[in-house]
Amino acid sequence: MIRSSTLFAALEAAATSPRLIVDGHVWSGAALLEHAARLAARLAADGLGAGRHLHWRPDDPALTLQAGLACLQLGAELRLDRQAPPPPDPADLAGIEPLQTAPPDTAITHPGPWFGAPRMLALQETPAALALTAALACWQQGGCVLLLPADCAPARALGLLERDRVDQALIAPTRLDALTAHPAAALADLDALERLFCPLLDPGQKMPSQQLGVDCMSLVETGDGWTIATPTARLEAEARALPELAEAVALERPGTTPRLVAVPAPARTALPTLPEDRAIDIGMTADDLDHAVALTERLARIALDSMLNALWRGGLFTDSETTHAPGEVLRRAGVAPAHRALVGRWLEVLRAEGLLAAEATGALRSTRPPSAYDDAALATAWTAIEEAWRDCLGSAETIVYARDNAARLPALLRDEHRAVHLLFPEGRTERAAALYRESVVGRYQHRAMAELAACIAAAHPRGRALRVLEVGAGTGATTEQVLPALAGYAVDYRFTDVSAFFLDRAAPLLAPYPWVRRGLHDIDRDPAEQGLAAARFDLILAGGVLNAARDTDASVRWLGELLAPGGWLLLSEPTREEYWVMASQALMLSEASDARADARATFLDLAQWRAVLDGAGLERVRELPGPDHPLDRLGHRVFATRRPVAPASAATLAARLSAPCDLTLVAHLPRTPSGAIDRARLARETAIETEAHA
C-alpha cells in the first residue's frame, strides 16, 4: 500500500536528488513537490478539495504524475479520463504561489506484489493509471522515474536505459518489440535491468518471455488492477474487455476449468448522434464544390475518349463507318487475357454513353469522327482539365496520373507495362498519397469517416478503450483524418494493410499517437486464420478498400463477425462505374467473384452494396452524402453500419474467450467493506460448488 504521508516524506528527504527525468530535464524531490503544490493551488482555486474527484486527461505523462501528487495534497481523487478537458499549460503554473497545506494521510493502491523496489524505473507508453501508481510507489521507496517519450527512437531509448542504469521497466509491447529488434540492442549494456514488464492492452496478445536479454513478464488488467498474465488472469482480462460484461472475476479450480463469474453490462441500444451532410466541412464554398463536381464529371468524359483513343491507336475505330466485333477489338488491340473482361466493360460503357453504336450483328462503330478522340484532341482536353483542376483543388496529381495511364493504355492492355508502376513510380508513394487525398470526393469521404468515428467514440462507455481496426489503410488518407478526431478518447487502434510496404511508410504518420499499433490484415482471408477472434472490435474502418476484395460478400461478412454487438463498420465506396478508374487502377484489380462478375461491372452499385450489408446482418444507420448534396450525383457513399445488439448467453460469451471456462452470469459481485470485489468469498463459494459436484 502507498501512503501519502510516507510518499511526501520520501520526496522531501530527496530534496536535491533526482526523482523524475523527462527529455533531459531532471526534477529533484523538492522540485517535484513545488510543481505539484503550484498545480494543487490552481486546482483548489477551481474548487477541488478533500473528498472530491478530478477528471484529468493524461496527455502529458509528466504533468499527470504531478496531478497525482497535487490531488494527494488536496485529499482529492484523480480519475484519468481521455474525454476530460485539456489539462492546464505547465507554463501557466509558474506564477502561482505553491499550496502550503500538508496532505492528509491517505492510502493508495500499490501496483501489486510483482512490483519491486526500483532504484531507477523506466516507463514508456505505460497505461496512464499504471504509470501513476508505479511512479508513486517508486518515489515512496526512494527511487527515480525515467519517462521515455512515446516517440523516442529505439537507439536513443536503449542509450537512456543504459546510461541511467535502469533496473526496472514498464514498456508497451510495440515499443518493446522495436527496442528488441533494433541492432543497438545487442550492443547496449543493460546488466542493471532486473525486472521488465510489458502491460498488454489486448489480453490475448502474446509477448516473448525474453526481451532485451532479461525475463519479460506480461501484465494484464483484472478487477484487482494490473497483475502477471497467468492463464487465469488473462481469462479475466479478456472477459472484462467484452462489452457485454460490466465486471468479471476468474477463479482457479484445481483439476478442472476455471470459474468465471461475471455481471452483464446494461444493453447499449441507443444510437449516437451522427453527423448530417451539413456537418461535414471540407473547406470549400458551395460554388467551388459545384465546380469540383463538374470537373469530376468532365474527367469521366475525357477518360471515355481515352479508351477510344487507345483502341484507335491499335487500328480500330479509325472512322465512323467501319464496324468491329468485340472479339476483333480484343484481338487487334492485343489485349492480354487478364484484361479482356475489363475491355469488354469498356465497350459496354462506351456504347451506353453513346460513343459507340451496335449493329444488329453486335458489331460496333464509332458515333463520331476520330478527330474527337485522336492524340491531338486528347492532348488539348488533358491540358485544359489539368489547369482547371489545379485552380480549383490546389493540385492536379489525379489528372497527371490519369493522363499518364491514358498515354500508356495500349501497352498496359498488352501487359507490356504494369499499371502498379504508374501508381507507385520507383516504389514511391507520393503519387498515390496525393491521389487519395486530392479529389473533392476523397476530401468529403475522409472527413465524413472522421466525424462519424468521433461521434461513435463520444458515445462509447467510459472506462473501456474503443477498439478500432482499420483495414486496407494504405497511404493513410483516411487515417490522417480519423486519428486527430479520436485523440481525446481512450482508443486501442490497429492500422492494418495487406502489405508491409504501407506499414513501414506509415510510421511517421502514426508516431504522435501511442495508442496505434500496426499489423498485416488481408480482407480476402478469414480473420480467424489471421489470429483475430470474433467480436473483437467496437469500430472497423474500411476507406475505399472493399472494392478491391475478390468476394465483397465474404469480406464484409468477416468484418461484421469481428464486431462486438453494437459495434460499427464504417466504409466508403464508389457505387457506380468510375470511368477514369476503369482506364487506370482497374488494370490492377483482380477479377471479382461476387455480383460485379454477374453485372460485368468494376464496382457494386448502391442497391448491391445495400444487399451486401444486409446479407452480413448489419444495420444500415446512415448513408452520406444525402440526395440533396452536390456530391450525390458522383455516386460515392460513406456507409455507417452497426452490428445489432442482442442479449448474449453465458455459453455464447464463453465461446469468445481464448480458454475454456465455466461462466456464470450474476446480478452483482460480492464486495468487501472497502468496496473491492470479495474474491475470498467467491473462492469459498467456488470450492463448495466444486465439492458438491465431485
> Which CATH superfamily is 2-242 part of?
ANL, N-terminal domain (3.40.50.12780)
- Determine the topology of domain 243-265+647-694 in CATH: GMP Synthetase; Chain A, domain 3 (3.30.300)
Contact call for residues 546 and 523 (beta carbons, < 8 A): yes
Q: Phi-psi region for residue 47, left (φ > 0), alpha (ψ -120 to 50) or beta?
A: left
pLDDT-based confidence at 100, cuts 50/70/90?
A: confident
In whole angstroms, give the CA distance from residue 378 to residue 305: 7
Chain segment 266-303, per-residue pLDDT in tens: 766 556 777 776 667 777 888 888 999 999 999 999 99
Query: Is the predicted pLDDT of residue 693 greater than 50, yes or no?
Result: no
List, in sequence order, every residue forming a beta bridge with 195; answer none if it has no partner: 168
Round to whole Å and give the CA distance between 427 and 496. 19
CB contact set of 645 (below 8 Å; sequence gap of 6+): 267, 268, 269, 565, 566
Q: Which of 1-5, 141-145, 168-172, 207-211 has the lowest mean pLDDT?
A: 207-211
* pLDDT > 70 fraction of the chain, expressed in percent and rounded: 96
534 CB-near residues (< 8 Å, 6+ apart): 527, 528, 561, 562, 656
Indicate the pLDDT class of residue 694, thresholds 50, 70 and 90: very low
d(CA 420, CA 437): 18
Please name the fold of domain 437-642: Rossmann fold (3.40.50)
**pLDDT over threshold 60, residue 691:** no
pLDDT value at position 590? 67
Alpha carbon dihedral 253, 256, 262, 264, in 10-degree steps, equals: -170
Structure confidence at residue 271 (pLDDT): 65
Confidence of residue 472 (pLDDT cuts 50, 70, 90): very high
Picking from 38-42, 379-383, 409-413, 435-439, which range would have the lowest pLDDT averaged per residue?
435-439
Q: In Å, what is the CA distance from 258 to each residue of 235, 538, 661?
A: 9, 27, 5
Largest pairwise CA distance in the chain = 99
CA distance 658 to 536: 12
pLDDT at 267: 65
CA atoms within 13 A on the CB side of 403: 18
Residue 165 has pLDDT above 80, yes or no: yes
Residue with cell 464496382: 603
| Per-residue pLDDT tens over the stretch 30-66 | 999 999 999 999 999 989 988 899 989 888 999 999 9
DSSP state, residue 671: B
Candidates 421, 446, 393, 444; CA nearest to 585 is 421
Residue 692 has pLDDT above 50, yes or no: no
d(CA 58, CA 209): 30
Rounded to an integer, the average pLDDT of 149-159 is: 91
Residue that wins the pLDDT comparison between 282 and 329: 329
Q: 456 vs 59, which has greater pLDDT?
A: 456
> Using CA atoms, how far apart are residues 409 and 424, in angstroms rounded to an integer?
17
How many other C-beta atoms lie within 10 A of the C-beta of residue 383?
Answer: 12
pLDDT averaged over every residue in the chain? 90
List, for residues 342-390, the tens digit of each pLDDT value.
Answer: 999 999 999 999 999 999 999 999 999 999 999 999 999 999 999 999 9
